[in-house]
């Protein structure tokens, strides 16, 4: 189904350290997150064809996709608006509370602010 491509990145959420493991998917999905905390297994991010085809910087970049997926792990975001930047902006205008928990709003904010500029070298 998938093969491991890299492991790395630690984060501290509510005093919890974690190692995130990245895997390659054989589908065209951008990414998927699998939580195994209850089993004591590190969290996993599965990256698909959409990720590998993305640019290194800009909107919908590799760095933005990784940030999007990590936001699910770090702050329990959801995919309320998972199609494009305009949909995320519309969600912010029509339902700000949902937008605060929407992974794409984190991604697009980071990409537009210049926060996401490069990706770790361990990620192709």
What amino acid positions are annotated as catalytic residues? 69
Q: Given the structure tokens 């589908």, which residue do they identify?
A: 27
**In 3-state terms, what secondary structure has residue 94?**
helix
Give the phi and the psi of residue 16 in degrees, each rounded to 5: -120, 120
Whether 91 and 105 have beta carbons less than 8 Å apart is answered as yes
């Amino acid at each position: 189904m998938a093969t491991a491509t890299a492991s790395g990145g630690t984060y501290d959420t509510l005093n919890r350290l974690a190692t995130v493991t990245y895997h390659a998917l054989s589908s065209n999905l951008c990414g998927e997150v699998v939580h195994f905390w209850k089993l004591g297994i590190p969290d996993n991010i599965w990256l698909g064809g959409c990720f590998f085809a993305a640019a290194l910087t800009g909107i919908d970049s590799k760095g933005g996709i990784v940030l999007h997926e990590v936001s699910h792990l770090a702050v329990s975001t959801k995919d309320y608006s998972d199609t494009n930047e305009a949909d995320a902006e519309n969600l912010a205008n029509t339902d700000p509370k949902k937008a605060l928990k929407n992974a794409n709003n984190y991604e697009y904010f980071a990409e537009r602010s210049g926060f996401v500029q490069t990706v770790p070298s361990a990620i192709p």
